[in-house]
C-alpha cells in the first residue's frame, strides 16, 4: 500500500522543467462529426452561461455529450445532419478514415515545430481506445482500435528525440455513465465511482504504463477512487523513474456520489457560480495531494506559485477538429509565437493542441503556425 507522502519530496525532473513546448493531440471518433459551436471560449461560458455551458461548449471532442443536451446547437446540428443516428454509428467511418494515419508524418511536423514532448489522447470521454487494449470495456466490448496508434506514434516520436506522453480520461467515460452533462456539478456527478469502472480504468492505466512507458501520465477531469491513486503513482514511478504526473487526479468519490442527489448538486453549482461572480481574475485551483506540475487550460486557473506549470489549449477554441471553425478562429504565427513567449517567460511549458481530421490530416491552419514557431525556437 502506498501513500502520497512517499512522493512528497520528489523534485520535478529537469527534462520537463526545461522542456518549454509540447504538442497535444485530440483525435478519435469525434473527428467524424467534427462539429461544435464557434466563438465562445470556455472561460467566458463558465462566467456567463454556467448552468448550461456545455450546451455551447466549443470543444468538438465533447460532441456526444452536447448532442444529448436538449436545445443545444449541437443537438440541432446532429438532428439536421444525421437524423437519429447514434454516436456509435460514426465508428466504422473513423476506422476506415484512420487507415491513412502516418505516425512519421505527424512526428516530422512536431519535430519541425520545436516540440520537446508529445501528449497523445489514448481514450477521451467517449471511451473509445486508440490502442488494442486487452482490458475490455464491461459496457461496450470491443470499443477500441485493432491498430496500435499509440505504439506507432510512440516509436515515431522517440525516434526523433522527443519524449512521448499519454492522456487518459479517468474521470469521465460516457460508456459507463452516459447522463448529459450541462455544468460542473453534472460533470462531477457523472464520474463513475462504481467498482467495475474503477477496476477497469486502473487496469487500463497500468497497461498503458507497462506497454508504452510514457514520460507524462496526463489524467483528465478526476479519478474515481481516492484509494487507487497512490498505488498507480507508485507503479508509474517505478516503471518510469523520470516520469511526471499532472494535477487532474482529484479523487473525492464521496463528493462525486453526493452530487448525484439533485439538491446537493444545485447547492454545489450555486457555490461555484458565486465564486466565479466574486472573482476578479483567474483563481488558482486547490492543489491535489500530489502532482509534478499544475495545468492551466485556456486561461482557466491562475498561474500557480512555486510549482512547475503547463498551459494547454488548442490553436483554435477546440481541441478536437471542428469543421465549423473558420481560418480566423485559429492563432496565426504571430499569435502562437507571442503565446509561447508569454508562457515560457513565466516558467511554464506551452502544450499546444492539434486536432487532426479523421483521416489524420493536420490542416494548414494548424500546421503553418507550428512551423513558424519552430523556425524561431529550434
pLDDT at 298 over 60: yes
Q: In this structure, which topology does domain 4-8+20-377 adopt according to CATH?
A: TIM Barrel (3.20.20)
- pLDDT (0 to 100) of residue 282: 67
Start-to-end Cα distance in the chain: 44
Residues, the chain: 378
- pLDDT (0 to 100) of residue 2: 62
64-77 per-position pLDDT tens digit: 999 999 999 999 99
Average pLDDT over residues 363-367: 97
Burial class (CB in 10 A: 0-12, 13-18, 19+), 133: buried
Contact 135, 207 (CB under 8 A): yes
Residue 92, helix vs strand vs coil: helix
Residue 233, helix vs strand vs coil: helix
pLDDT class of 359 with cuts at 50, 70, 90:
very high
- pLDDT (0 to 100) of residue 1: 45
Element (H, E) at 275: helix 262-278
Residue with cell 472561460: 43
Tally Cβ neighbours within 10 Å of residue 138: 13
Q: Which of 168-172, 305-309, 321-325 has the lowest mean pLDDT?
A: 305-309
Calpha distance 63→355 (Å, rounded): 14
128-148 per-position pLDDT tens digit: 999 999 999 999 999 999 999
Q: Which residues of 141-177 are buried (b: 16+ CB within 10 A; e: fewer)?
A: eebbbeebbbbbbbebbeeeebbbbbbbbbbbbbbbb
pLDDT at 156 over 80: yes
**What DSSP string describes 53-114?**
GGGS---GGGHHHHHHSTT-HHHHHHHHHHTT--GGGGHHHHHHHGGG--HHHHHHHHHHTT
Residue with cell 514520460: 215
> What does the CA dihedral 18, 281, 38, 66 come to, rounded to 10 degrees?
90
The sign of the torsion formed by the CA atoms of 135, 91, 155, 349 equals: negative
What does the domain layout of the chain look like in residue ranges? 4-8+20-377
Average pLDDT over residues 10-21: 96
How much is the CA Rg of the chain, to the nearest whole Å?
A: 19
Tell me what the pLDDT averaged over the chain comes to: 95
189-246 per-position pLDDT tens digit: 999 999 999 999 999 999 999 999 999 999 999 999 999 999 999 999 999 999 999 9
Calpha distance 348→342 (Å, rounded): 9
pLDDT class of 3 with cuts at 50, 70, 90:
confident
Query: In 3D, which of 36, 16, 32, 15 has the Cα closest to residue 329?
Result: 36
**pTM, to two decimals:** 0.97
* Residues linked to residue 252 through DSSP beta bridges, in sequence order: none
Query: In 3D, which of 77, 115, 104 has the Cα closest to residue 354?
Result: 115
- pLDDT (0 to 100) of residue 301: 65
Record the cell numbers describing residue 329, joined without a space: 478562429
Amino acid at each position: 500500500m502506498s501513500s502520497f507522502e512517499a512522493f512528497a519530496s520528489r523534485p520535478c525532473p529537469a527534462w520537463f522543467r526545461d522542456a518549454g513546448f509540447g504538442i497535444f493531440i485530440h483525435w478519435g471518433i469525434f473527428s467524424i462529426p467534427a462539429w461544435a459551436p464557434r466563438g465562445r471560449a470556455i472561460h467566458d461560458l463558465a462566467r456567463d452561461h454556467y448552468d448550461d455551458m456545455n450546451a455551447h461548449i466549443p470543444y468538438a471532442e465533447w460532441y456526444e455529450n452536447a448532442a444529448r443536451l436538449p436545445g443545444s446547437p449541437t443537438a440541432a446540428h446532429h438532428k439536421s445532419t444525421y437524423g437519429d443516428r447514434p454516436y456509435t454509428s460514426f465508428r466504422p467511418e473513423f476506422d476506415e478514415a484512420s487507415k491513412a494515419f502516418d505516425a512519421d508524418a505527424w512526428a516530422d511536423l512536431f519535430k519541425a515545430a520545436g516540440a520537446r514532448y508529445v501528449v497523445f489522447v489514448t481514450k477521451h470521454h467517449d471511451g473509445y481506445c486508440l490502442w488494442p487494449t486487452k482490458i475490455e470495456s464491461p459496457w461496450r466490448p470491443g470499443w477500441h482500435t485493432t491498430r496500435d496508434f499509440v505504439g506507432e506514434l510512440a516509436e515515431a516520436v522517440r525516434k526523433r528525440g522527443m519524449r512521448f506522453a499519454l492522456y487518459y480520461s479517468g474521470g469521465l467515460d460516457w460508456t459507463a455513465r452516459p447522463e448529459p452533462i450541462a455544468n460542473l456539478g453534472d460533470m462531477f456527478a457523472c464520474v463513475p465511482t462504481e467498482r467495475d469502472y474503477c477496476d477497469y480504468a486502473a487496469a487500463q492505466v497500468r497497461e498503458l504504463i507497462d506497454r508504452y512507458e510514457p514520460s507524462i501520465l496526463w489524467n483528465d477531469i478526476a479519478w474515481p477512487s481516492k484509494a487507487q491513486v497512490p498505488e498507480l503513482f507508485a507503479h508509474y514511478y517505478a516503471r518510469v523513474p523520470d516520469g511526471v504526473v499532472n494535477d487532474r487526479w482529484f479523487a473525492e468519490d464521496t463528493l462525486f456520489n453526493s452530487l448525484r442527489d439533485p439538491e446537493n448538486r444545485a447547492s454545489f453549482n450555486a457555490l461555484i457560480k458565486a465564486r466565479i461572480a466574486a472573482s476578479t481574475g483567474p483563481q488558482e485551483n486547490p492543489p491535489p495531494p500530489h502532482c509534478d506540475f499544475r495545468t492551466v487550460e485556456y486561461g482557466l486557473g491562475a498561474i500557480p506559485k512555486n510549482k512547475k506549470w503547463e498551459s494547454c489549449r488548442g490553436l483554435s477554441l477546440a481541441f478536437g477538429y471542428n469543421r465549423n471553425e473558420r481560418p480566423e478562429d485559429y492563432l496565426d504565427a504571430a499569435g502562437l509565437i507571442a503565446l509561447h513567449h508569454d508562457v515560457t517567460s513565466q516558467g511554464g511549458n506551452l502544450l499546444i493542441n492539434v486536432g487532426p481530421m479523421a483521416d489524420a490530416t493536420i490542416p494548414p491552419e494548424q500546421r503553418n503556425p507550428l512551423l513558424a514557431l519552430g523556425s524561431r525556437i529550434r
